[in-house]
Amino acid sequence: MEKHEMKSDPYKTMDLSIKGLTLVGALIAAIWAYHTYTDTKEKEFYTTFWNTKLQMFLETSAAASTMATTESIEDFYKARTRYQELFFGRLSLVEGDSVKKAMIEFSSLIPGEAISQDMLPLEFLQQPAYRLTITMKEELGSAWRAPFEEI
């Protein structure tokens, strides 16, 4: 072998170093991009979940408070139907244990039979409707402070 072949070529060493650093940089960038993507997707999902929960809680609270305060028999029946739709359906997807318990408690107080106009407003539902709303508010606060713990 010739003498100059035995020496290391500084340009070749630098070229290999640059390629190695480029590869390491690309791997770090790929890992960072994956983490950012999954973190963003989780946040998007939870934002949608939380907003849906908020909307259903608002609808449920409105139905309960309407049943407790309305003087219109038509509004009472509409609110009772809406409450039952949420209670037996979609609300179960997002409610926690405390709201479920409050919903059951409130449901047990709703007159199941026909009521007359002169029975309204149903004042005995007012405090239970209020407690139900406060329970939903507390659950929303907990969900906001500790995302994903309820899922």
Tell me the per-residue pLDDT of 66-75, one tens digit each, with 9 for 90 and over. Answer: 999 999 999 9
Q: Round to whole Å and give the CA distance between 126 and 42.
A: 38
Q: Round to whole Å and give the CA distance between 47 and 54.
A: 10
Q: Where are the domains of the chain?
A: 47-145
Q: What global pTM score does this model have?
A: 0.77
Tell me the per-residue pLDDT of 97-140, one tens digit each, with 9 for 90 and over. Answer: 999 999 999 999 999 888 999 999 999 999 999 999 999 999 99
Return the closest-CA partner of residue 109 out of 135, 146, 83: 83
